[in-house]
Amino acid sequence: MSTNGPYILVLNCGSSSIKFAIIAPSTGETPLKGLVENLFTASGRLTYEAQGEKIKSTLPAKADHTQALQLIVEILNQFKQLKGQLVAVGHRVVHGGEFFAESALINEAVIQAIHKTSNMAPLHNPANLAGIRSAQLAFPLLPQVAVFDTAFFQTLPKEAFLYALPYSLYEAHGVRKYGFHGTSHYFVSHKAAQMLNKEYEECNLISAHLGNGCSIAAIKHGRAVDTSMGFTPLEGLVMGTRSGDMDPSLPSYMIEQLGYSAADVNSILNKESGLKGISGLSNDCRELEAQAKLGNEQAQLALDMFCYRLVKYIGAYMAVVGTLDALIFTGGIGENSAYVRSKVVSQLYHLGLVIDEALNDEMRFGRSGGIHQPASLPVLAIATKEEWVIAQDSARFAK
Ligand code: AMP
C-alpha cells in the first residue's frame, strides 16, 4: 500500500448511494475507492478497490447513510497507514444556492445554509447533509469541507443567470439559474489552459460535460459566464433520461389537458425522457450507438437530437465567449464517444472546428488530448477528475 500522503477522504453522497475515495491532493493518487449502492433497500451493496484488489460485500437491509459510513470506516480501519494520513474529509454538495461561491469549511452556519438550499435540491442536499453528519461523528478530529457543484457558476452575470420572470421571484425565492457539474467544468477548463499553454484568465473556453447528466459551460477570460443547467439540473442539453430545454408551458398542458399529475410530469421529465425517452430503448449512449448501427431508427433519432441540441449550444456560446481558445468534451460520453464528438464537430465546420478522425478514434479510456486538425480551433477531450478537485480544495482547509 502506497503511503504518499497526506490524503483526503472524498465523499459523494447521493440519495441512495455513496461514492468514497482516498485521494492525495497533490498528485491525484487514489489508493482506495469504493461505492455503496441501493441504500434503503434490501439489496444494498458495497464494493471497493484497494491495492488492485476488488472487494464486494452486502449491507444490512434498509441501511442508511450513517450505517454505510460506519462500514466505510471499518474498511478504512483495515488500512491504518492510509487512515492515519487523512487530513480532511471533502464532501461533494450539489446545491450551494447563492451562499457559496467557493468551498467552505463546514460549521453549523454552513450546515444551516446547505439545509436552507435543500428545497431546491430535495434529492441531493439532504443526502449530502446525512453524509456530513455521519462523517463528523466518524472523524470528529478532521476538518470537514463542502465543495459545491454550483460554486463555479457564481460568476455568471445577472443577464445570464436570471429568468425573464417577475424579478420578485428571484428576490423572494431565489428563482434563477445556478448551474451544476461545476467541479468538472472547473477541472477540465483549468486542464485545457495547461494543455494550451495559456494563462487561465486569458482563456475563452466552452466545456461540454456529457455523461448521464449533461451540461455545457461558457468560460470567458477564465470566468464562467453561462451554462445550460438552470434552477435545477433539468434544463439545457438532451441527457440520459432528462429532457433538457422544452416549451415551459408543456408541464401545465400535460397536467391540465392530458391528465398527468405534477409528480408524473416531474418523473417523466427527469427519468423517462432524454435519450431513453426518444429511443424507447436505453439511456446508455453505447447501446444506442450499437443499435443505430444496426439500423434502429429511434436510437439514431435520439443520438441526432442529442448532438443537434449540443451543436446549438456550442454555436450560442461561441457568440458569447468571443474568440474561442478550445472546445472541450468530457464526461462518460464526451471522453469516450468518438461518434458523438465527430458528429458534433462536423456540424461546426463553418465556425472553424475540424475534427481529426484518427486522433478522435484514439481518444478514450481516460486519455486526454487534442482531436482537431492543425488548421482548426482546438478541440480537446479531457478526462474529468471531480473527486480530485474536491480533494485539492479540501486540502486548503487541512491544518
Ligand atoms: P457518466 O455519467 O459520466 O458516467 O457517463 C455515462 C454515459 O457515458 C453513458 O451514456 C455511457 O453510455 C457513456 N459512455 C461510457 N463509455 C462510452 C463509450 N465508450 N462510448 C459511448 N458512450 C460511452
How many CB atoms sit inside 10 A of residue 51's CB?
9
| 3-class secondary-structure state, position 339 | helix
Residue 127 CA, distance from chain mean position: 16
Of the candidates 64, 149, 247, 361, the residue annotated as catalytic is: 149
Hey, which residues does 34 pair with through a beta bridge?
20, 48
The pTM for the full model equals 0.94
Nearest CA-CA partner of 280 in 303, 304, 298? 298
As a whole number of Å, the CA-based R_g of the chain is 21
CA dihedral 117, 122, 127, 129 (to 10 degrees): 20
Q: Do 72 and 135 contact (CB within 8 A), yes or no? A: no
Burial of 19 (0-12, 13-18, 19+ CB in 10 A): middle
Q: Angle 125-138/65-77 helices, nearest 10 degrees? A: 40
Distance between CA atoms of residues 24 and 30, nearest Å: 7
Rounded to whole angstroms, the Cα distance separating 43 from 301 reads 35
What single string gives the DSSP state of each residue in 194-246? HHHTS-GGG--EEEEEESSSEEEEEEETTEEEEES--SSTTSSS--SS---S-
Pocket test for ligand 1, best of 210, 241, 275, 286 (most atoms within 8 A of CB): 286
DSSP-H helix ranges across 235-337: 250-256, 262-271, 274-279, 285-293, 297-321, 331-336
What does the pLDDT read at residue 376? 98
Binding positions for Mg(2+) are 12, 386
Q: Report the nearest-CA residue for atom 20 of ligand 1.
A: 337
Hey, what amino acid is at 110?
A: V
The pLDDT tens digits along the chain (399 residues) read: 555 789 999 999 988 899 999 999 999 999 999 999 999 999 999 999 998 899 999 999 999 988 999 999 999 999 999 999 999 999 999 999 999 999 999 999 999 999 999 988 888 899 999 999 999 998 999 999 999 999 999 999 999 999 999 999 999 999 999 999 999 999 999 999 999 999 999 999 999 999 999 999 999 999 999 999 999 999 999 999 999 999 999 999 999 999 999 999 999 999 999 999 999 999 999 999 999 999 999 999 999 999 999 999 999 999 999 999 999 999 999 999 999 999 999 999 999 999 999 999 999 888 999 999 999 999 999 999 999 999 999 999 997
Q: Identify which of 149, 210, 330, 337 to mutate to test ligand 1's pocket (most ligand atoms within 8 A of the CB).
A: 337
Q: Is the peptide bond before 25 cis (omega within 30 degrees of 0)?
A: no
- Secondary structure (3-state) at 300: helix
- CATH 3.30.420.40 residue ranges in the chain? 7-148, 198-386
pLDDT score for 3: 58
DSSP 128-195: HHHHHHHHHHH-TTS-EEEEESSGGGGG--HHHH--SS-HHHHHHH--S-----HHHHHHHHHHHHHH
CATH of domain 198-386: 3.30.420.40
Helix (H, G, I), strand (E, B) or coil at 379: strand
Q: What is the model's pLDDT at position 121?
A: 86
What cell does 121 get? 435540491
Ligand 1 contacts (CB < 6 A) are: 211-212, 240, 284-286, 289, 331-333, 336-337, 364
Please say if 149 is a catalytic residue.
yes
Residue with cell 453528519: 133
Q: Indicate which atom in ligand 1 lies nearest the CA of residue 240.
A: 10
Surface-to-core class of residue 399, CB atoms within 10 Å of its CB (0-12 exposed, 13-18 middle, 19+ buried) = exposed
Give the distance, in angstroms, between the CA of residue 282 and the centroid of all CA atoms in the same chain: 20
DSSP β-ladder status, 223-227 and 214-220: antiparallel
What CA dihedral angle connects 241, 247, 253 and 255, to 10 degrees? 40
Residues 6+ apart with CB under 8 A from 186: 152, 389
Question: What CATH fold (topology level) applies to the domain 7-148?
Answer: Nucleotidyltransferase; domain 5 (3.30.420)
Query: Tell me, what's the pLDDT at 14?
Result: 85
